[in-house]
A and B are shown apart, each in its own frame.
Chain A
Amino acid sequence: MTTTEHNAVAPLLEVTDVRKHFPIGRRPLFGGPQPVLKAVDGVSLQVRPGETLGLVGETGCGKSTLARCMVRLYDLTSGTVNFNGSDISTLSRGELRPLRREMQVMFQDPYGSLNPRRRVGSIIGDPFAIHGVAEGDERKRKVQDLMELVGLNPEHYNRFPAEFSGGQRQRIGIARALALNPKLVVCDEPVSALDVSIQAQVINLLAELQERLDLTYVFISHDLSVVRHVSDRIAVMYLGKIVEIAGVDDLHDHTRHPYTQALLSAVPSADPDAVAARERIVLTGDLPSPANPPTGCRFHPRCPKAQQICVTDDPELVSRLGDDAVHQVACHFPLADGELLTASRPAIADIDPDLSFDASAAEKGTSA
């Protein structure tokens, strides 16, 4: 999609400066602020109708929290979520209810998200019951249509979840999510618990359904090869913020953020010759705690390119190096095309923390 095409369509979902902070521990006895874990800390993005937005990042980066904020499974700490023209961040439960039909969630664990003591037909029929859409024979017929749609045998209507395999259970979850003809489906690691041969079946099914039912997906996964396969655009998260967002091919061919490059280079590939030829950047250190994120750019303690300005200034998510508006990166020193991170050790170790702020270097960095 080119920039103009991309901007021509009104977004189905618009997330603006969303923050979600969870209280942790006790409030200090003598005043002082409540300590919080900043799971999502200022995220803005848009999802266009019919597209698949991939959301990637490592454990604890806030991708699942962000997804739950998108459909108001969590109340926001601040910011707004605009779904199909209405601001859902301030609506009451009752006002939200009709909108709930249009946004659905699919979860990772096909074992934990289905009640083991209820029959599959009644599980898939739940959305109809809750929203008072169809009853009796009509409900049963609709449920069986859904089962057929996702590739389950409609005659298995009266079976229990335990009688299905992992892949089939994930199909039950998909049927339930699609029951009310939603516009937006948030898929939270939908294939991560499945074996590869089964995973491919489910990915194909999701793609087929998207085409047939005109669905919009937000697809969360830690598996970058899966995300690359299904997504139109990908947002990369690190410690509660988006560090880079771009079309799939742009993200891979014109990687701008050092973290994105490190993440992509670590993805295992089932091609031994490609693996041998690849320059792998192994990041040092661990993900810092989101309760006490680093100052400035949150990636600076692990970044091979970090400079003094990265310690003090939080970079904005904007287009850089002549990229179009679809490709945005939050970095003071984005990577040029073909530039490879040479060192894997954090550069900040070489910088004297007492070094006075070098304005000329910063100037050079931001205008590059």
Chain B
Amino acid sequence: MPLLEVDDLHVSFGTPDGVVRAVRGVSFSVDRGRTLGIVGESGSGKSVATQTIVGLTRGARVSGRATLDGENLLGADPDTLRRIRGAKIGMIFQDPLSSLHPYYKVGWQIVEMIRAHERGTSKSAARQRAVDLLDAVGIPSPRTRIDNYPHEFSGGMRQRVMIAMAMALNPAVLVADEPTTALDVTVQAQVLDVMRDLQREFGTAIILITHDLGVVADMADEVVVMYGGQVMERAERRDLFYRHHHPYTEGLLNSLPTSGRRGKLTPIAGTPPSMITPPPGCPFEPRCVHAMDRCREKPPTVEIPGGGPHTSACWLPVERAQRTKAEAS
């Protein structure tokens, strides 16, 4: 059984304009020591899906199942959820400055978090652990840096502090929502290395949410591509990049400027759908070059044979994926 399993998750929000159906039937899972990449553009529902699992979407209408180590997450009462968050699921977000309290020293914030979850830990023991954690994420002279305020750290260092805090209780799952989007590429490389090292050491499962296909190609074992609140394609990393099946995955990859090829890019025409009145069938149908009449009914999620576990929500014949493989090699 997978460590974290999400099945048929639906999330919607009431807004003055109508009900926003942000997530519509999403399923994924992740195992210990593995990294699941969730990619999608703004409004694809990738962040809402993961925030719902950890109980951060208050006021949302939620249905479906999500279990961690067999324990149900969606129906859990606030106390249970608080115990799970931090201790079993660590989280890091895009903007480390707004995730850290500006008035308190970073060491205090880590110590507080350890002691909130482990009542018996003494202050000095927690502080020692905080120093070790800062050291583990590569912050130089952690013994003095522990008494600095968040603003005294650079963006990359702050994200390291966030990782240290998320990993403080050795959680089974680390949810990283666009962890490097605000960082420069050289700093991004440093931060991704830290995450990789920690995963190797502690066997943490990582859910990496990003819009950057390059980060996914570098980090993920398995990839889920989301669009319009649904999963379009799910595959092992190499399968996704070299023998993708779904036209949206293909469109995303074609939109990227590739090294050494100038000239015109091939963008996806049109804009993403409204999540208040999403298209009745495949959400990508209005922008898809292969759209057919039957795309207006919900497409089945088909198994793509040959390679790892691979599914795609599209009516196109499965042989399509084989063709892209031939082109790639």
A residues sitting closer than 8 Å to B (CB atoms) are 58-59, 165-168, 195-201, 203-204, 207, 222, 224-226, 228-230, 249, 252, 262-263, 266-273, 275, 280, 282-284, 286-287
Chain B residue at minimal CB-CB distance from A164: B271
| Chain A residues with CB under 8 A of B190 | 282-284
Task: Let me know if A262 and B186 touch, CB within 8 A.
Answer: yes
On chain B, which size bracket covers the interface?
Answer: 35 or more
How far is A230 from B186 in the complex, measured between Cα atoms in Å?
21
How far is A324 from B213 in the complex, measured between Cα atoms in Å?
36
Q: Which of chain B's residues 116-163 have a Cβ closer than 8 Å to chain A? A: 154-157
Q: Which of A59, A200, A222, A284 contacts B155 (CB 8 A)?
A: A59
| Chain B residues with CB under 8 A of A273 | 238, 242
| Chain B residues with CB under 8 A of A271 | 217, 241, 258
Q: List 19 A-B contacts (CB under 8 A).
A: A58-B184, A58-B187, A168-B271, A195-B211, A197-B41, A197-B255, A198-B267, A200-B257, A204-B265, A222-B184, A226-B257, A266-B186, A266-B188, A270-B241, A272-B238, A272-B242, A273-B238, A273-B242, A284-B190
A268 and B186 in contact (CB under 8 A), knowing A167-B271, A225-B257, A287-B154?
no
Distance from A174 Cβ to chain B, minimum over Cβ atoms (Å): 15
B residues sitting closer than 8 Å to A (CB atoms) are 41-42, 154-157, 184-190, 193, 211-218, 237-238, 241-242, 251-262, 264-269, 271-272
Task: Let me know if B267 and A201 touch, CB within 8 A.
Answer: yes
Task: Let me know if B188 and A197 touch, CB within 8 A.
Answer: no
A280 and B189 in contact (CB under 8 A), knowing A59-B184, A196-B256?
yes
How far is A346 from B186 in the complex, measured between Cα atoms in Å?
15
A197 and B251 in contact (CB under 8 A), knowing A58-B186, A267-B214, A271-B241?
yes
Task: Let me know if A268 and B185 touch, CB within 8 A.
Answer: yes
A286 and B257 in contact (CB under 8 A), knowing A58-B186, A197-B41, A270-B213?
no
Question: What 20 additional pairs, Cβ within 8 angstroms, besides A167-B271, A196-B252, A272-B241?
Answer: A59-B184, A196-B211, A196-B255, A197-B41, A197-B251, A204-B265, A225-B256, A225-B259, A228-B259, A263-B186, A266-B185, A266-B189, A267-B185, A268-B213, A268-B218, A270-B214, A270-B241, A270-B256, A273-B242, A282-B193
Task: Let me know if B257 and A228 touch, CB within 8 A.
Answer: yes
| Chain A residues with CB under 8 A of B187 | 58, 286
How far is A267 from B258 in the complex, measured between Cα atoms in Å?
12
Task: Let me know if A272 and B217 touch, CB within 8 A.
Answer: yes
How far is A168 from B271 in the complex, measured between Cα atoms in Å?
10
| Chain B residues with CB under 8 A of A224 | 185
| Chain B residues with CB under 8 A of A167 | 271
Chain A residue at minimal CB-CB distance from B223: A272
Chain B residue at minimal CB-CB distance from A259: B186
| Chain B residues with CB under 8 A of A59 | 155, 184
How far is A200 from B212 in the complex, measured between Cα atoms in Å?
14
A286 and B154 in contact (CB under 8 A), knowing A196-B41, A252-B259?
yes
| Chain B residues with CB under 8 A of A249 | 260
Task: Let me know if A268 and B188 touch, CB within 8 A.
Answer: yes
Chain B residue at minimal CB-CB distance from A248: B262
Distance from A359 Cβ to chain B, minimum over Cβ atoms (Å): 33
How far is A282 from B256 in the complex, measured between Cα atoms in Å?
24
How far is A199 from B265 in the complex, measured between Cα atoms in Å?
10
Task: Let me know if A203 and B257 touch, CB within 8 A.
Answer: yes
| Chain B residues with CB under 8 A of A269 | 214, 217-218, 259
| Chain A residues with CB under 8 A of B214 | 225, 267-270, 275
| Chain B residues with CB under 8 A of A272 | 217-218, 237-238, 241-242
How far is A228 from B262 in the complex, measured between Cα atoms in Å?
8
Chain A residue at minimal CB-CB distance from B270: A197
Distance from A154 Cβ to chain B, minimum over Cβ atoms (Å): 18
| Chain B residues with CB under 8 A of A286 | 154, 156-157, 187
How far is A267 from B213 in the complex, measured between Cα atoms in Å?
11
| Chain A residues with CB under 8 A of B251 | 197
Q: Which of B156, B213, B241, B260 contacts A196 (CB 8 A)?
A: B213
A165 and B271 in contact (CB under 8 A), knowing A225-B256, A275-B218, A282-B186?
yes
Distance from B154 Cβ to chain A, minimum over Cβ atoms (Å): 5
| Chain A residues with CB under 8 A of B238 | 272-273
Chain A residue at minimal CB-CB distance from B43: A195
| Chain A residues with CB under 8 A of B264 | 204, 207
Chain B residue at minimal CB-CB distance from A56: B185
| Chain B residues with CB under 8 A of A198 | 41, 267, 271
| Chain B residues with CB under 8 A of A230 | 257
Distance from A60 Cβ to chain B, minimum over Cβ atoms (Å): 9
